[in-house]
């Protein structure tokens, strides 16, 4: 698996499967990609049609399909139900996890997120605006709501004092939305590969959200998206559009980039799989802490 993310946004296309290959036909031009190589397929052009074999082929190999609305922003995702040989056992352990354990896990996630934000600010500004100090004060379950306190310092420092994180805004928030959707799909895929259920969250709990656990575990890696978007804004201006080039930069910055961890070059999906596997081990009492690589 080479973890390719394919975005169909620039023109209509017909998608099908032939000989274990995803076939993309645009007019008389046909390209193929091995299904085993596809981590996520993003369909954002309104004139795209696909066969049932595309959906079943992706799900059988642990891939995700993301569908977009009329603004070409992600609104839904199709993921596999079966992804691990001991899935039923892990579902049960996940469902029965105690509240104190969940609170300790959330403390680890929030601390990792705030420290990631601190590292980004240090690179951008030369100082972290006190975020590392805040991270050290996080308690079980983030009882002091340090995550929100850090955000109030973080967003103005990254994008300027007038910026507000608003998913409905038409400024570069739309770039963040798209990047986070790609990241969410990658995390969800890793969750399924580790035999966990994406709807059973650590902290996020919403009866209408199928991906609560993905929303939890992606938190420490959001700054990866933020940094790519900041670079796009610097290069293309405050009104940087969510076009083919911007999407390619976001996908490439997440899925194609190699991250050095412990002197090894790893894909982000490799690292996320390590995170979700460590969570499965916590739930089955094989370890006590998450493995959250520092990027």
Which pLDDT tens digit goes with each residue over 182-200? 999 899 888 887 888 888 9
What percent of the chain is helix, strand and coil (3-state, nearest 5)? 50, 15, 35
Enclosing H/E stretch for 188: helix 173-193
- Between 266 and 290, name the one with better pLDDT: 290
Of 38-42, 84-88, 129-133, 156-160, minimum mean pLDDT range: 84-88
CA distance 60 to 56: 6
Return the number of other C-beta atoms located less than 10 Å from residue 56's C-beta: 12
- Mean pLDDT calculated for residue range 132-158: 96
Both tokens assigned to 37 = 């190589």
Residue 275's pLDDT band (boundaries 50, 70, 90)?
Answer: very high
Q: CATH 3.100.10.20 in the chain: give the residue spans.
A: 4-78
Residue 82's pLDDT band (boundaries 50, 70, 90)?
Answer: low
CA distance 76 to 103: 28
Both tokens assigned to 86 = 């001991």
Of 34-43, 125-134, 207-216, minimum mean pLDDT range: 207-216
Residue 79's pLDDT band (boundaries 50, 70, 90)?
Answer: confident
pLDDT of residue 208: 58
What proportion of the chain, given as a percentage, has pLDDT over 70?
Answer: 96
User: Using the 8-state DSSP alphabet, how is residue 71 labeled?
Assistant: T
Residue 287 scores a pLDDT above 80: yes
| CATH architecture classification, 87-283 | Up-down Bundle (1.20)
Residue 257's pLDDT band (boundaries 50, 70, 90)?
Answer: confident
CA distance 197 to 132: 32
- Indicate the pTM of the whole model: 0.84
Cβ-in-10-Å burial (0-12, 13-18, 19+) of 89 comes to: middle
Q: Crossing angle for the helix pair 87-95 and 268-283, nearest 10 degrees?
A: 70
Cβ(53)–Cβ(77) below 8 Å:
no
- Maximal CA-CA distance, the chain: 60
Cβ(214)–Cβ(191) below 8 Å:
yes
The owner of tokens 């911007």 is 246
Contacts of 253 (CB under 8 A, 6+ apart): 179, 224, 225, 227, 228
Helix, strand or coil for residue 121?
helix
pLDDT of residue 35: 94
φ, ψ (nearest 5 deg) of residue 78: -110, 125
4-78 folds as Ribosomal Protein L15; Chain: K; domain 2 (3.100.10)
pLDDT of residue 256: 83
Cβ(252)–Cβ(269) below 8 Å:
no
Residue 1 scores a pLDDT above 70: no
Q: CATH 1.20.120.920 in the chain: give the residue spans.
A: 87-283
């Amino acid at each position: 698996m080479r973890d390719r993310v394919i975005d169909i946004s620039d023109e209509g296309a017909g998608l099908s499967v032939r000989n274990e290959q995803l076939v993309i036909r645009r007019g008389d031009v046909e390209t193929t990609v091995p299904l085993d190589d596809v981590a996520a397929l993003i369909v954002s052009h309104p004139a795209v049609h696909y066969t049932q074999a595309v959906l079943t082929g992706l799900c059988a190999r642990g891939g995700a399909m993301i569908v977009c609305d009329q603004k070409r922003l992600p609104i839904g995702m199709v993921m596999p139900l079966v992804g691990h040989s001991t899935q039923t056992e892990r579902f049960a352990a996940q469902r029965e996890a105690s509240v104190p354990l969940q609170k300790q896990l959330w403390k680890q996630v929030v601390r990792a997120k705030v420290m990631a934000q601190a590292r980004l600010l240090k690179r951008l500004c030369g100082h972290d605006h006190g975020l590392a100090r805040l991270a050290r004060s996080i308690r079980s379950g983030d009882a002091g709501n340090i995550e929100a306190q850090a955000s109030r310092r973080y967003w103005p420092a990254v994008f300027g004092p007038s910026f507000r994180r608003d998913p409905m805004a038409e400024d570069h928030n739309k770039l963040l939305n798209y990047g986070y959707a790609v990241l969410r799909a990658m995390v969800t895929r890793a969750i399924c590969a580790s035999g966990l259920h994406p709807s059973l969250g650590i902290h996020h709990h919403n009866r209408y959200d199928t991906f609560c656990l993905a929303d939890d575990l992606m938190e420490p890696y959001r700054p990866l998206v933020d940094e790519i978007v900041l670079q796009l804004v610097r290069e293309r201006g405050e009104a940087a559009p969510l076009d083919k080039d911007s999407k390619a930069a976001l996908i490439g910055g997440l899925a194609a980039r190699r991250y050095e961890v412990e002197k090894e070059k790893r894909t982000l999906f490799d690292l996320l799989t390590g995170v979700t596997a460590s969570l499965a081990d916590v739930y089955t009492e094989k370890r006590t802490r998450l493995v959250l690589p520092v990027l």
